[in-house]
Amino acid sequence: MRFSLTLLLALVLSAPFACAPKKIKVYETESAIQARSSLAEYAITLLGKPYRSGAKGPQSFDCSGLVYYVYGRFDVMMPASTEGLGRVGYEVSRNNMTAGDLAVFRIKGDMHVGIMINALEFIHASKSRGVAIDSVDLPYWQQNFSHFRRVF
């Protein structure tokens, strides 16, 4: 009985000092929201540019090259690979996603990335169509969707 009481007392006394995860609320600034929106608007000006593997623009792009180039135009240094882009910044939920955030997909083991231009559509470099706009709600993109990321 004495051992149980000692153990119980030790647990109760140590509880207030235990580590617990803390929730941190991130507040969006109006300038960050506007900058991401401007970034998305600029990306739209590249519609129709041809796809070329490894291309980082401005005449042609692959998917990571498009993101790298567009963010670079706004003085934001980004990883040059899809794997790096899939880890940059932090993950956001669909409910919190805004224009300028990244949409990350996993297709047959490979990653694909695009830039959200509104709550439904993203712009990306498609192998078959070049720089194009698609909806994340299309069945193909839904089944290959991984996550959204916010860089700033």
Closest C-alpha to 121, from 136, 132, 140: 136
Q: Which residue has the tokens 């401005």?
A: 58
| Cα separation, 42 vs 73, whole angstroms | 9
Provide, rounded to the nearest whole percent, the portion of the chain with pLDDT above 70.
82
Identify which has the larger pLDDT, 10 or 115: 115
| Position 131 pLDDT exceeds 50 | yes
Q: Is 124 designated active site?
A: yes
**At 42, which CATH number?**
3.90.1720.10
pTM: 0.81
- Among this protein's residues, is 112 annotated catalytic? yes
Active-site entry in 124, 131, 148, 150: 124
For residue 78, is it within any domain? yes
Count of domains for the chain:
1
Q: Is residue 33 part of a domain?
A: yes
Which residue among the candidates 36, 49, 112, 150 is catalytic per the annotation? 112
Give the tens place of pLDDT for each residue, 27-44: 668 888 899 999 999 999
122 bridge partner residues: 116, 134
**Cross-strand bridge partners of residue 148:** 92, 103
Q: Which domain holds residue 72?
A: 27-150
* 147 included as an active-site residue: no
Pick the catalytic residue from 39, 63, 125, 131: 63
In the sheet with 90-92, reading across from the earlier edge strand, the strands are 90-92, 145-150, 102-107, 110-116, 121-126, 130-135
